[in-house]
Structure 1
Amino acid sequence: MDDSLTADHRERLRAAGVEASRVDSLVVRRVADGLPPWWHDLDNALYLAPGARLPESVLSQLMLIPMRRALVVVGGPMDHLVSLLLGGDDATVFLDERVVLTAGEVYCGAGSSIVLHGPVLATRCAVIDARNGGSIVAAGDQLWASNVYLATDDMHRLADRATGERLNPFGASIRLGEHVWLCRDAVVSGHVEIGEGACVAMRAVVRNQKVPAHSVVGGVPARVLRDDVRWDYDDVP
């Protein structure tokens, strides 16, 4: 039986935001052994690239709640991941090679998607949460400090008492461009676009905002503190 990525699953990854060139270059194999029968019976799929793996504790959590048509693609070893949970049918998760989420937690709800292109380095305790049909897509070359929190939704409805209108985001989309630095305790939620080369300062809250490329934003809510900047991994004068 052919266990390579199916054409339907390739198209689904593209629709979720995986770069077409990356989809075309993927070499992964569908996992058949060690998963409960319901996983296969309900048309779920877990693909691993050569050398990719999930910790046993994460894999067991992934299988706790039956769902349909889940698609999970893992491109590298995720030895330090704490949890990967799916919250319903048609969840899509793509964790590319060179994605390091030390003590990280990933949650993908029904009809939602999370796409992390490598490399992503999250130093500790990143939480990545997409739900209500929302999506999170990060281009490559991400640096996330400790306790970064990315969430499409607030998990509970907040409404106007008189009209019943929902006030907080529902099924939002988050997009991070190439070479983005999220500093310690940064919060990104709701409909957000963060431009290439941007830096989100420590404890800043970016919510329903567009962050310009090559800018530094900080504060609650975040505002532009400096534009036309370049940040580097090397800490030099």
Structure 2
Amino acid sequence: MNHKKTITLPHIFKTLLPKQLYRQRFLLQDKGHSNYIEIANDVRIIGNSTITIRKGDNNRITIGSHGKLNKLKIDINGNHNQVTIAEHVKFSGQLLVVGNHLRIHIGEHTTAIDCYILARDKSVTIGKSCMISRGIEIRATDVHKVYDIDTNVRVNKAHSDVILGDHIWIAANVTISKNVSIADGCIIAAGAFVNKPVTIPNCMVAGTPAKIIRQNVRWER
């Protein structure tokens, strides 16, 4: 049976207007309880955008003003999670949260053409004024577990959140893995696989695995 809810909103979504949702073609699914969704009145939503709460309680989704969302998919499976898109964000892609007490945050004035973000095991934070290209994957987990045969200890466990600083440029087809933080002002070259923290600000990173190839750089849109 298809339990998908379209436009008809539970009483907990009093901040949303059904007519506005219909005009913006924003599809809402909610299979949980006591979940809170707030979308600023002036957010422009185009394409087939969806919010799905597969199961869970006390999840919160907030989308700030002056945003432009294109084919945005927000998918939550768990409890006490937060997805926050700040003001003046232009975003296309998928935000997926699996687990409890996790967070995805996208800072103000950040843009993304095609970005997949997975918060599972740990959270993901993207700073202000970042420029994210197409074909981007940002993952706070490997999803599948790998164990040492002798000790039965998991060897690929996520131990820290993925945190991207402010004013970072991520070029096309980049993958950012678990436990990664990237300092302010960095440039991640096309095709890079970033699996270790980049602690030096204003540097250029490239390769698989990614390495710093130049320091003391700045970029403009």
TM-score over 0.5 (shorter chain): yes
Q: Distance in 2 between matches of 1:187 and 1:38?
A: 31
Match of 1:146? 134
Equivalent residues of 1:211, 1:217 under 8 A apart = no
Q: After TM superposition, give the deviation of residue 186 of structure 1 in Å.
A: 1.0
Equivalent residues of 1:30, 1:45 under 8 A apart = no
Match of 1:112? 102
Match of 1:182? 170
The alpha-carbon distance between structure 1 residues 121 and 36, as it changes in their structure 2 partners (threshold 3 A), is closer
Where has structure 1 moved over 3 Å in runs of 4 or more? Answer: 29-39, 53-59, 76-79
The alpha-carbon distance between structure 1 residues 166 and 48, as it changes in their structure 2 partners (threshold 3 A), is same
Match of 1:164? 152
The amino acid that maps onto 1:89 is N
Q: Distance in 1 between matches of 2:184 and 2:98?
A: 27
Equivalent residues of 2:47, 2:70 under 8 A apart = no
Name structure 2 gaps, 5 residues minimum. Answer: 1-13, 22-27
Q: Does 1:127 align with 2:116?
A: yes
Alignment of 1:203-214 (within 5 A): 203-214=191-202
Alignment of 1:1-237 (within 5 A): 30-31=15-16, 39=32, 42-52=33-43, 57-59=48-50, 61-63=51-53, 65-76=54-65, 77-102=67-92, 104-110=93-99, 111-123=101-113, 125-132=114-121, 134-170=122-158, 172-233=160-221
Matched positions, count: 198
Equivalent residues of 2:176, 2:193 under 8 A apart = yes
Name structure 1 gaps, 5 residues minimum. Answer: 1-28
Q: Distance in 2 between matches of 1:220 and 1:171?
A: 22
Equivalent residues of 1:95, 1:116 under 8 A apart = yes
Q: Which has the higher strand share?
A: 2
Q: After TM superposition, give the deviation of residue 170 of structure 1 in Å.
A: 2.6
The alpha-carbon distance between structure 1 residues 55 and 165, as it changes in their structure 2 partners (threshold 3 A), is farther
Q: 1:107-144: CA deviations, max 9, x gaps? A: 01222110101111112x21011112x11111111011
Q: After TM superposition, give the deviation of residue 37 of structure 1 in Å.
A: 8.2
Q: Distance in 1 between matches of 2:220 and 2:30?
A: 48
Identity of aligned residues (%): 21
SS at match of 2:55: coil
- Alpha-carbon RMSD: 2.3
Q: 1:46-76: CA deviations, max 9, x gaps? A: 01223136669544x514x121110100114
